[in-house]
């Protein structure tokens, strides 16, 4: 069975973004860029929540994206995309599958398909859901050297989830990559995405 | 001028304790114990918020503490203690000074005294105050491999605080030590401790 891992940024105080969705505190430099592209190479499919999906689809399918970041644009457009949403009916972006109901069943099926691993990108709510559903194999967090003092939580779970720290990497700009294997906590509501 | 550093545990989602003050998720083993004693050796004085101070005073001054953990008990009793509190009038624990008002002025004076560094232990509210007052030189966080899903924040600050990551250390039990130099954010109310 292939692995499902989630990658997202978080502040040291556990927020994914400010209340007004500001993510400018995330420092992405050349070292991050090389890491991020290598990580994308691990993926045979990418999984996204609806909000992240719509942002990605809007940008990465454009000629501007191909010009600004041709390597990443080519890969993101070519990779199969899976978006979890109960409201999205039709996907404009190429190679997209929508999971509208029975997310846990459909995602289990997706993991059982042959191929490279599945990468969930930047979707905090979906990450929280997958942790509690026992479907997330790795939680990869880039902890930024910042306190936000408030915002939308990076790991919205209800109740305590213990994890195993698999590895860590300190980046020269102060970002800290922490990679965990979450232990299933047993309870998970369907994701509200 | 001597350095003021704060050491505290936090969950990956940024909580210091659950709402009902549970800290049993903090994993302290022999490796932690050696680290913690070495860190205590860096300190010429320890600084505590009222709640932590009262817990420490109650336990570490007893014969039971001397029996259970003689090295740490001896050091904690001998070290000068400084507690920040507007309600505490009298301290029973030996070598204690109470700072009741003008905390920022008094703590600046304390930092200007000769001697080894000052260690703030386990006091989230006071840590948040010191960060915003520009008085904290190092924030040392032991990130536990756990999500609490809610609780009392480990870093209660209002507004964004950027920091510099100075160093990190991965412990074999999955704890991750992250050491930051906070940049002063400019605004700080007197601590409500």
CB B103 within 8 A of CB B129: yes
Q: Give the orientation angle of helix A70-78 with respect to helix A30-41, to 10 degrees.
A: 20
| Residue B109 three-state SS | helix
Which pLDDT does position A189 carry in this prediction? 54
Could you read off the pLDDT of A112-160 as tens digits, one per residue?
999 999 999 989 999 999 999 999 999 999 999 999 999 999 999 999 9
| Residue B99 three-state SS | strand
Q: Which chain A residue is nearest to residue B175, measuring alpha carbons?
A: A165
Given CB atoms, is A172 within the 8 Å cutoff of chain B?
Answer: no
A131/B154 touch (CB, cutoff 8 Å), yes or no: no
Phi, psi of B71 (to 5 degrees): -65, -50
Distance from CA of A50 to the nearest CA of B (A): 23
What is the average per-residue pLDDT within A26-53?
Answer: 95
Q: How many CB pairs under 8 A join A and B?
A: 110
Which pLDDT does position A193 carry in this prediction? 54
The CATH code that applies to domain A4-113+123-166+175-182 is 3.40.430.10
Domain ranges in chain B?
4-182
CB-CB: which of A14, A146, A159 is closest to B12?
A: A14
B178/A176 touch (CB, cutoff 8 Å), yes or no: yes
Which residues on chain B are in Cβ contact (under 8 Å) with A153? 13
Could you read off the pLDDT of B114-148 as tens digits, one per residue?
999 999 998 999 999 999 999 999 999 999 999 99
Interface predicted TM-score (ipTM) over 0.90: yes
* Rg from Cα positions in chain B: 16
Given CB atoms, is B93 within the 8 Å cutoff of chain A?
Answer: no
With b for 16 or more beta-carbon neighbours within 10 A and e for fewer, the A124-138 pattern comes to bbbbbbbbbbbbbbb
CB B155 within 8 A of CB A147: yes
Which pLDDT does position A92 carry in this prediction? 86
Which residues on chain B are in Cβ contact (under 8 Å) with A14? 11-15
Ordered DSSP codes for chain A: ---EEEEEEEETTSEEE-TT---TT----HHHHHHHHHHHHTEEEEEEEHHHHHHHHHHHTSHHHHHH-HHHHHHHHHS-EEEE-SS-----STTEEEE-S-HHHHHHHHHHSSSSEEEEES-HHHHHHHHHTT--SEEEEEEESEE-SS-EESS--SS-EEEEEEEEEE-TTS-EEEEEEEPP-S--PPP--
What is the average per-residue pLDDT within A63-81?
Answer: 94
Distance from CA of B147 to the nearest CA of A (A): 5
Given CB atoms, is B115 within the 8 Å cutoff of chain A?
Answer: no
Listed as ranges, residues in chain B with pLDDT below 50 are none
Given CB atoms, is A180 within the 8 Å cutoff of chain B?
Answer: yes
Which pLDDT does position A39 carry in this prediction? 97
Give the DSSP H or E segment for B71. helix B70-78
Adjacent-strand bridge partners of A141: A8, A178
CB-CB: which of A18, A159, A165 is closest to B149?
A: A159
CB-CB: which of A14, A25, A174 is closest to B13?
A: A14
Rounded CA-CA distance A25/A16 in Å is 10
Given CB atoms, is A32 within the 8 Å cutoff of chain B?
Answer: no
CATH class of this structure's domain B4-182: alpha beta
Q: Which chain B residue is nearest to residue A156, measuring alpha carbons?
A: B149
Distance from CA of A118 to the nearest CA of B (A): 23
B171-175's contacts with Cβ under 8 Å and 24+ in sequence apart are B171/B31, B171/B32, B171/B35, B171/B142, B172/B31, B173/B27, B173/B29, B173/B31, B173/B32, B174/A163, B174/A164, B174/A165, B174/B27, B174/B144, B174/B145, B175/A165, B175/B27, B175/B32, B175/B142, B175/B143, B175/B144, B175/B145
Q: Is the pLDDT of residue A36 over 90?
A: yes
What is the average per-residue pLDDT within A3-16?
Answer: 97
Phi, psi of A190 (to 5 degrees): -60, 145
Which pLDDT does position B97 carry in this prediction? 95
Which pLDDT does position A146 carry in this prediction? 97
């Amino acid at each position: 069975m292939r692995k499902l891992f989630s990658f997202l940024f978080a502040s040291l105080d556990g927020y994914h973004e400010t209340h007004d969705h500001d993510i400018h505190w995330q420092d992405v430099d050349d070292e991050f860029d090389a890491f991020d592209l290598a990580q994308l190479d691990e993926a045979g499919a990418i999984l996204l929540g609806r909000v992240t999906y719509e942002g990605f689809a809007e940008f990465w399918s454009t000629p501007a994206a191909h010009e600004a970041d041709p390597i990443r644009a080519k890969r993101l457009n070519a990779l199969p995309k899976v978006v979890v949403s109960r409201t999205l009916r039709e996907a404009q972006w190429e190679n997209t599958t929508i999971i509208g109901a029975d997310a846990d069943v459909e995602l289990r099926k997706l993991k059982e398909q042959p191929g490279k691993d599945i990468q969930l990108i930047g979707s905090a709510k979906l990450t929280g859901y997958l942790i509690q559903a026992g479907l997330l194999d790795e939680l990869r967090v880039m902890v930024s050297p910042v306190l936000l003092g408030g915002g939308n939580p990076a790991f919205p779970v209800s109740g305590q989830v213990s994890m195993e720290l698999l590895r860590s990497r300190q980046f020269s700009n102060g970002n800290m990559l922490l990679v965990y294997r979450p232990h299933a906590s047993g309870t998970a509501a369907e994701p509200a995405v």
